[in-house]
Structure 1
Amino acid sequence: IGGGMANTFLAAQGISVGKSLCEHDLADTAREIMQVAEQNKCEILLPVDVVVAKDFKAHAENRTCAVDDVAEDEMILDAGVKTVAKLVAAMGASKTLVWNGPLGAFELTPFDKATVAAAQAAGIRAKDGKLVAVAGGGDTVAALNHADAASDFTFVSTAGGAFLEWMEGKALPGVEALKA
């Protein structure tokens, strides 16, 4: 899990995320998801290290730290190299990847590094036929294009919410009309 969603899961565990994008009102939901995942022996991959800055701007002064070392006046803007290595290792042990959302503020240099590294690793595995890599959502497509990896993915959908609903198995009106 990357970006603001990861911050919500970290905060739900009592980890301070400083000024980071975070949906604190979803802490109970995040804890429920973690509990169900644990019961089903499903690992939720959360960041172990992060890149933080005090300003949300390109080339802001930044540092990499452990997830539990984020100061109150800092915001998490990217995943760190240890986290990327963990994600790439998980891809290596997987047959399918469903990607929704960047790992950080990929539109701001240098906070695009984790997204680019993970996207390129997934793209290489998909291109080699070792991974079925599907992705969806506007930010996701932009991030994969930024990483020059979109064309290597098995399937990329520009329909963000609809893509996720389809993945959940919900009936989509446009698809249902085609079935008729």
Structure 2
Amino acid sequence: LTEKVDYLVLGGAIANNFLSFSKVNIGKSFFQNGVDDLLHNIVETANKNNCKIVVPEDVLVAVNSDYSTSISRRTESILDGDIILDIGPQTLSTISSIIASSKTLLWNGPIGVFEHSAFASGTIGVMKIVSDLTHKGKLTSIIGGGDSLSAISAAGLTDKDFTYVSTGGGAFLDWLSGDEMPG
């Protein structure tokens, strides 16, 4: 997608991979091992195509194992025991500004662990901004993936609040990338 978009805004475990790749301590957060070559290629392709990759500048981390409480930290201040579970308020503001200046938005997957209220503000906040701009006719919003549908519901919204909603997460991304589809 870095050849087709102006901004690639990352949250969740994918953002953790990019933060770790950039030598940011991600504590005990989930990420994939062995993807540095892939991440390097993505960054290189983004740079060649003037695509800005946006990773969190601040995050919400779990304070306890039941995920009932969060603490906001700048990414450079993440502790070894922290588990990143959402974007922080400054990152939400940055993403909101990017969306407000955009004409089209492609979204696949939630930004944080929205199933826990302490870590829902990023996903729900962005959902509401996207919905509002879509209703005002300022944004064409294309949402994909089953988890995104759950996030839409958690935000008190419906698929009617967006231009287009697809339930096929992986297939949705394959289609956007121009991959051959079955059938």
- TM-score, normalized by the shorter chain, greater than 0.5: yes
Q: Counterparts of 2:114 and 2:78 in 1: how far apart (Å)? A: 19
Counterpart for residue 177 of structure 1:
none
Say if 2:39 is the partner of 1:30.
yes
Letter in 1 for 2:141: A
The answer to whether 1:172 aligns with 2:181 is: yes
Instruction: Give me the whole-angstrom Cα distance separating, in 2, the residues matched to 1:30 and 1:48.
Output: 18
What amino acid maps onto 1:146 in structure 2?
A
Q: How does the TM-score come out when normalised to structure 1? A: 0.91
What is the match of residue 136 of structure 1? Answer: 144
Aligned pair partner of 1:95 in 84, 96, 103? 103
User: Which one-letter code corresponds to 2:25 in the other structure?
Assistant: S
Mapped to 1, the partners of 2:26 and 2:71 lie a distance apart of 14
Amino acid at match of 1:89: S
Cα deviation, residue 93, structure 1 = 1.0
Work out the CA distance in 1 between the residues paired with 2:123 and 2:148: 10
Q: Secondary structure at the match of 1:78?
A: strand
Deviation at 1:115, TM superposition (A): 0.5
Q: 1:92 to 1:144 in 2, by over 3 A?
A: same
Structure 1: tracts of 5 or more residues without a match? 175-180
Alpha-carbon offset, residue 145 of structure 1? 1.6
1:72-114, Cα deviation, whole Å (9 max, x unpaired): 1110011001101111100111111000111110001110011
**Greater share of helix residues, 1 or 2?**
1
For 1:56 and 1:109, the matched residues in 2 are separated by 14
**CA displacement 1:53-90 (0-9 Å, x = unmatched):** 14353413x21011111111110011001101111100
Aligned residues: 173
Give the Cα separation in 2 of the matches to 1:148 and 1:66.
Answer: 29
Task: Give the ranges of 4+ consecutive aligned residues of structure 1 lying more than 4 Å apart after TM superposition.
Answer: none
Alignment RMSD (CA, Å): 1.3
Q: What is the TM-score with the length of structure 2 in the denominator? A: 0.89
| Distance in 1 between residues matched to 2:40 and 2:63, nearest whole Å | 28
1:13 corresponds to which of 22, 30, 49? 22
Cα distance in 2 for partners of 1:12, 1:148 equals: 35
Equivalent pair of 2:109/2:169 in contact (CA under 8 Å):
no
Match of 1:114 in 2: 122
Alignment partner of 1:163: what SS? helix
Instruction: Give 1:45's aligned residue.
Output: 54
Number of the residue aligned with 2:154: 146
Percentage of matched positions with identical amino acids: 36
Question: How far did residue 131 of structure 1 move?
Answer: 0.6
Amino acid at match of 1:48: E
Match of 1:75 in 2: 83
User: Structure 2 counterpart of 1:47, which letter?
Assistant: P
Unaligned runs of 5+ in 2: 1-9
